[in-house]
Structure 1
Amino acid sequence: MSTIYYHIEKKQWYQCEEENGLFFGKTNTMIPYVGSCPEHSLPFPVNNDGNHVGPIIGILTGNSRDNTFLGNLKVLKRILLSLHEHGALGVIITPHSIRGQIMEAFTFYQPLNKWIKLQSPLPNVVYNRIPYRHMEEKKDFIDIVSFFKMNEIPFFNPHFFSKWEVYQILKKNDFVKRFLPETTLLKNLRDLKKMVTKHQILYIKSSTGYKGIDLYRLKVQQNGMIVETPHGKHSYSTFTSFWEKNQGDFTKSNYLIQEAIEADTYDGKRYDLRILCHYRDNGHLISGIGVRVAGENGVTTHVPNGGSIIPYQFVGDRFDEVILQKLVFEIGRTLMDETGEFIGEFSIDLGRSKNGAIFIYEINSKPMVFDEVDIHQKGLENLTKLLIMEASKA
């Protein structure tokens, strides 16, 4: 380990160990030697490899109006502290941070228990934590991603997934496709009627939705249909009346129709698994498995919409973990092969039918923060190791 120092007022880095200089960041920026450490400088212990120290790991999040950044501060702080504990310099950046070969960045400085602003050389790797999908559609995000690629800075997790694009990609994998519920794009009333003739219960979901938002469950009955959402239940006498009421939403963005699985239950309620996955060495592995149980309305298992949490051990004997790990490996490999991007982490929402069949509901590129302490900790450990590993390759 080496110690480097940052002087906040002068916006300069120093070190007191190597007269010929230490180097860090993507461009091997030299940290000048000084005989004694300047006053009012903050020490940062970092890994060293010869005369190179770090790495610098940039965490990309959104711009804010006060020229700081947006994001889940608790999550960002947790990642930064883990990186610092492992000898890396973790910094928060936004699409507006780059100034030539310098970044205007932020980090959480544990000894002072506060956020600080600092200047840093370009990072060795960038981890995408942009919080909202619409931010990834803006020109400043597109421009900074192009900048990273042009400067050969690895960009970890390129963007939010589209459910429809992921479905089309995974259908190309012969092993994975047998675990996919039948799914199609909802373009018109004819698409809906066609799926209803094959499946008496359907889900309609936005291709870009999350946390159970924009989710409908349709159940056909003799005298019409029942439509359930996280907010309530409605009856319709005809498909046409349902379509006319919701056509505006369904046609302004991509919505999917997916066959509903007659799901296995725990304590009389439907449940599904949330599998957290990280890349390690030559493929993706499981970092943890959580379980979410549907609420009273039964439409979604998401906790903010009435779902609840039970330990995986309560239902773990119903799943073949060899199959689950094979699925994780194949999904990760297929997504990276087909997109040409490095996807370091993702999560899987997965269910089991009453007859024991496994079904993949969706894949998330930016996994939720797990409430389970063991998954939370293992996921952070694997993420930290992965970021440092990718930075060392750059």
Structure 2
Amino acid sequence: MRKHYLIEVAQNDQLVVFCPPSILKEKKLTRIVFGSRSIEVDFIPHPDQNDRISISRKIQDALRFPSFNIPLHVFFDNQSLIIGPLVGIFTAGFTSLPLEPIGDRTEFFSKLLSVNKMVGAQAFIFGEQHIDWEQGTIEGFFYQNQGWEKVEVPFPNVIYDRLPNRRSENSPRSIKVRERLQREYLIPWYNPGFFNKLDIHDRLIQDETVAHFLPDTLPFTSFSSIETMLSNYGHVFIKPKNGSLGLGVHQVIYDKYSDDYFCRYQDSSGVNRLRKFSSLERLMETVFANQSLDSMLVQQGIHLLRSESRPIDFRVHTNKDDLGNWHVSALAAKLAGLGSVTTHARSGGDIKTIEELFSNEVCTLYKEKLSNAALLLSQSLDRHVEGIIGEIGFDLGIDRCGDVWLFEANSKPGRTIFTHPELKEFDLLTRKLSIAFAVFLTEQSLLSPEELFK
């Protein structure tokens, strides 16, 4: 069990750190480090405290250490004592509004940073415009005492990527920041990159431990490939390779008795539509008239469990903890809206706990199946996807035979399920774990940097 130490600032200018005697019995220390800043100091046993470290104002200024009264972890590297971790959360979409510095995502970030004391970390928000490369500092946004405060701090130990969309992720400025901080400063950067559905499928299908969870999935190449899948499965989903929030998803159904084709989708005005066509060619020409089919994939339709005639799928969150181990951190059921092709709330979907839908025995069985699948899939993605992954949101389904299927993996999962009052504790758990993982990465960057940057 790692121990947290309160870092207090004494009102003197000596280059002296008062440290718990238990630490000094084991270590010979000459430097104190915070983020990318360090200073040579003398270490003296704290006369009467074993749970805190005392630094002077002079050391505080040299380290750019914000005094927020948060107990922090300590790490050791050679003769240095490292306090932290200092966690930078990289994002975009900042505003000039003091009460809403990150626009409509301000509430999410304030809740995320509210776990600092529980985790023992100093976490802050920043964008590329807040970096001073010459000084090696960042003007960070900290959430303290129910309000936002801007503080200049050193470069962090770890960076957590929370860019909001693919456009901001692919901007040249964001790419330059990520590459420079990783390459020149060797700062671990976790959760980079939105997943591409087809790329994820192609990587996972090669892993025999998880391949059975994957529905048949192909890039759109021709009408004949869709006809073949319709013949095999009765219905298919056509969706964007890089889509999110259920946007652009179409269900195509073939009725072999009437020889008709049906397409269920949400139109540009947000209305759920079901249209009938005499041929697949006519359907594609009409519904996809203004869309690039090269950017779409075709996926096997699954006959899902239903409640009140509405299909059910499941959102399962997994997170790594401060030891680098995967955990299932949240699980919820989602019911499709009436006439909707997806279970998203924007299409009329409803969020339920799994206990609301099934008996105790069935609930236990499904939880076990979904959790086992999510952990296996998390470990597989960890092995087969570049970069450091700390959290994943899975959209999973269970068919009428009780088999689990993966529909989508999200590297930056949404948090709509946590609007359900029974899922608040899981909301807190996922936030705690997403910051706690930075503790593990900080330790690994000291002990085994070659593993992080191989």
Tell me, yes or no, whether TM beats 0.5: yes
Query: C-alpha distance in 1, partners of 2:296/2:13?
Result: 59
Q: Which residue of 1 aligns with 2:279?
A: 238
Alignment of 1:224-263 (within 5 A): 224-230=260-266, 231-247=272-288, 249-251=290-292, 254-263=295-304
Q: CA deviation at 1:140?
A: 0.9
Counterpart residue identity of residue 150, structure 2 = K
SS state at 1:245 partner: helix
Q: Which residue of 2 aligns with 1:19?
A: 15
Query: C-alpha distance in 2, partners of 1:294/1:86?
Result: 36
Query: C-alpha distance in 1, partners of 2:411/2:343?
Result: 19
Alignment of 1:165-204 (within 5 A): 165-204=199-238
Structure 1 gaps, min length 5: 6-13
Q: CA deviation at 1:20?
A: 3.2
- Would you say 1:385 and 2:436 are equivalent positions? yes
Query: C-alpha distance in 2, partners of 1:153/1:45?
Result: 25
- Would you say 1:102 and 2:137 are equivalent positions? yes
Q: CA deviation at 1:197?
A: 2.6
Query: C-alpha distance in 1, partners of 2:207/2:139?
Result: 43
Contact 2:66 2:151 in 1 (8 A): no
Q: CA deviation at 1:44?
A: 1.0
- Per-residue CA deviation, residues 95-153 of structure 1 (Å, 9 max, x unaligned), is 2222121112211121xx32122211001111111011111111011111101211111
Contact 1:62 1:70 in 2 (8 A): no
Instruction: Tell me whether 193-202 or 272-281 shows the greater mean CA deviation.
Output: 193-202
Counterpart residue identity of residue 57, structure 2 = V
Change (3 A) 1:322 1:261: same
Query: C-alpha distance in 1, partners of 2:392/2:160?
Result: 13
Q: Which residue of 1 aligns with 2:69?
A: 45
SS state at 1:295 partner: coil
Instruction: Tell me whether 242-251 or 100-109 shows the greater mean CA deviation.
Output: 242-251
- Would you say 1:213 and 2:265 are equivalent positions? no
Change (3 A) 1:383 1:15: farther
- Per-residue CA deviation, residues 298-352 of structure 1 (Å, 9 max, x unaligned), is 4211122111122212337253544434322322222222223211100111111
Query: C-alpha distance in 2, partners of 1:54/1:199?
Result: 53
Q: Which residue of 1 aligns with 2:306?
A: 265
Query: C-alpha distance in 2, partners of 1:35/1:251?
Result: 61
- Would you say 1:2 and 2:36 are equivalent positions? no
Q: Which residue of 1 aligns with 2:105?
A: 72
- Would you say 1:33 and 2:56 are equivalent positions? yes
Contact 2:340 2:347 in 1 (8 A): no
Q: Which residue of 2 aligns with 1:11?
A: none
Change (3 A) 1:322 1:308: closer
Query: C-alpha distance in 1, partners of 2:284/2:243?
Result: 19
Contact 1:45 1:87 in 2 (8 A): no
Query: C-alpha distance in 2, partners of 1:363/1:186?
Result: 20
Matching residue within 192, 217, 232 for 1:158: 192
SS state at 1:75 partner: helix
Q: Which residue of 1 aligns with 2:382?
A: 336
Q: CA deviation at 1:69?
A: 4.3
Q: Which residue of 1 aligns with 2:179?
A: 146
Query: C-alpha distance in 1, partners of 2:118/2:182?
Result: 28
Q: Which residue of 2 aligns with 1:312?
A: 354
Counterpart residue identity of residue 255, structure 1 = M
Query: C-alpha distance in 2, partners of 1:35/1:245?
Result: 71
- Per-residue CA deviation, residues 358-388 of structure 1 (Å, 9 max, x unaligned), is 1111111111213221221221232232222
Query: C-alpha distance in 2, partners of 1:254/1:15?
Result: 62
Query: C-alpha distance in 2, partners of 1:252/1:64?
Result: 34
Counterpart residue identity of residue 34, structure 1 = R
- Would you say 1:365 and 2:411 are equivalent positions? yes
Query: C-alpha distance in 2, partners of 1:258/1:29?
Result: 57
Q: Which residue of 2 aligns with 1:274?
A: 315
- Per-residue CA deviation, residues 167-210 of structure 1 (Å, 9 max, x unaligned), is 11110111211111111111333332232232221111111112
SS state at 1:118 partner: strand
Structure 2 gaps, min length 5: 18-31, 42-54, 267-271, 446-454
Contact 1:275 1:348 in 2 (8 A): yes
Change (3 A) 1:36 1:339: closer
- Aligned-residue sequence identity (percent) comes to 20
Counterpart residue identity of residue 88, structure 2 = G
Matching residue within 167, 171, 177 for 1:134: 167
SS state at 1:45 partner: coil
Q: CA deviation at 1:27?
A: 4.1
Instruction: Tell me whether 23-32 or 121-130 shows the greater mean CA deviation.
Output: 23-32
SS state at 1:359 partner: strand
- Would you say 1:300 and 2:347 are equivalent positions? no
SS state at 1:23 partner: strand
Instruction: Tell me whether 95-104 or 249-258 shows the greater mean CA deviation.
Output: 249-258
SS state at 2:247 partner: coil
- Would you say 1:86 and 2:119 are equivalent positions? yes
Contact 2:395 2:407 in 1 (8 A): yes
Aligned CA-pair RMSD: 2.9
Query: C-alpha distance in 1, partners of 2:176/2:105?
Result: 23
TM-score, scaled relative to structure 1: 0.87
Alignment: residue pair count: 382
Q: CA deviation at 1:356?
A: 1.5
Change (3 A) 1:30 1:108: farther
Counterpart residue identity of residue 44, structure 1 = F
Change (3 A) 1:309 1:18: farther
Query: C-alpha distance in 1, partners of 2:292/2:40?
Result: 55
Alignment of 1:113-124 (within 5 A): 113-124=146-157
Counterpart residue identity of residue 260, structure 2 = G
Query: Higher strand fraction: Structure 1 or Structure 2?
Result: 1
